[in-house]
Amino acid sequence: MAAARTYDRSCGSVQLLLGYLPTERSLWPYELEKKRSQYSAYKDEFLLNPSEKLRRIEESKLSRKKELTGERNGLLPRSEVTNEEHPLSFGKSSLWNQYFQESEILEQIDRDVKRTHPDKSFFSAKSNQESLRRILIIFSRLYPSVRYVQGLNEVLAPLFYVLKNDLDTSNSTSAEADTFFCFVELISGFKNNYCKHLDNSLVGIRSILSKLSQLLKKHDEELWRHMEVITKVYPQYYAFRWITLLLTMEFSFNVCIHIWDAMLGDPEGPPDTLLRICCAMLILVRKRLLVGDFTANIQLLQHYPQTNIDHLLHIANRLRGTMPS
């Protein structure tokens, strides 16, 4: 695939492909320092529990008061707890209320992180699990329109794995911060797929699934007709997971990284390239699909068989420039 590039873990190509780093290499040190410092600030802002946040707010107020009054000695004054700062407050601006409302999301993140590639020792390491957890929590709080969607841990995992294994230790030690911003860049290209209120819009996930259907009809009408007219196997039954989790659940971890290499490096952009790859997946198993009924085809596509990935990407490449508008 001419446009595909391989990951060079020592020169930041992942960051380049995702737009995290500028093309001008001389600017990298400045950008990396700025972003890593920003991530550190995010951790302070979004990972503290309400008690710690309120304590820091009080310390800041007290410090300013001392500066204004010239007070240097004496006991710390007893601070009054307002209704909004009380753990039982239901006020919208209450830090505690916000904290408890988010507890369900935090529990889901914890469960998903622990389930991330348990067969790989890398993801079983406590420190790496904590990094994934922090990234997902900060993302969910910084981008409330997307928040956390179950399975985003699978999308995050390949990025963190590649950046954490950077041959340059100065980069690998900052992999958590770099991964966060790369994850944001990646999700930003697909964010409408995760916004439930956009599901039925022209830019939501249903529209994307419809584009996949149109693409298949354009290139293999016989297969499309058998799938959607005869057996009623519509894309929402199998491709929703393909698209929202960027194929991370359909292939092995290393194969997924290979596919992402092509997807991120393609000049048509990741969203269109992903759809071409999904269409190619259907075409590649067309013989089995054409003789299958509803149950057989659903089972086949929900448990996609091992295949020659280079051949799959070759078929996807042949579909280039044919995306429906």
Query: Mean pLDDT over residues 166-187, rounded?
Result: 95
The predicted pLDDT at position 192 comes to: 87
b/e code 169-186 from CB counts within 10 Å (16+ = b): eebeebbbbbbbbbbbbb
**For the chain, domain boundaries:** 93-189, 198-319
pTM of the model: 0.82
Q: Give the fold, CATH level 3, of 198-319.
A: Cyclin A; domain 1 (1.10.472)
The predicted pLDDT at position 78 comes to: 47
Are residues 316 and 276 in contact, defined by beta-carbon separation less than 8 angstroms? yes
Q: Give the fold, CATH level 3, of 93-189.
A: Helicase, Ruva Protein; domain 3 (1.10.8)
Identify the CA nearest to 273 among candidates 211, 236, 320.
320
Interatomic CA distance for residues 235 and 225, integer angstroms: 13
The count of C-alpha atoms lying within 13 angstroms of the C-alpha of 230, restricted to the half-sphere facing its C-beta, is: 13
The predicted pLDDT at position 197 comes to: 73
Question: If you count DSSP H runs as helices and E runs as strands, how many of each does the chain have, helices first?
Answer: 18, 0
Residue 255 has pLDDT above 90, yes or no: yes
Question: How would you class 266 by CB atoms within 10 Å of its CB: exposed for 0-12, middle for 13-18, buried for 19 or more?
Answer: buried
- Per-residue DSSP letter, 319: T
The count of C-alpha atoms lying within 13 angstroms of the C-alpha of 252, restricted to the half-sphere facing its C-beta, is: 9
Mean pLDDT comparison of 2-11, 66-75, 123-132, 314-323, highest-scoring range: 123-132
The predicted pLDDT at position 141 comes to: 92
Mean pLDDT comparison of 7-21, 100-114, 238-252, highest-scoring range: 238-252
Are residues 4 and 312 in contact, defined by beta-carbon separation less than 8 angstroms? no
The predicted pLDDT at position 147 comes to: 81
Interatomic CA distance for residues 206 and 244, integer angstroms: 11
Are residues 204 and 198 in contact, defined by beta-carbon separation less than 8 angstroms? yes
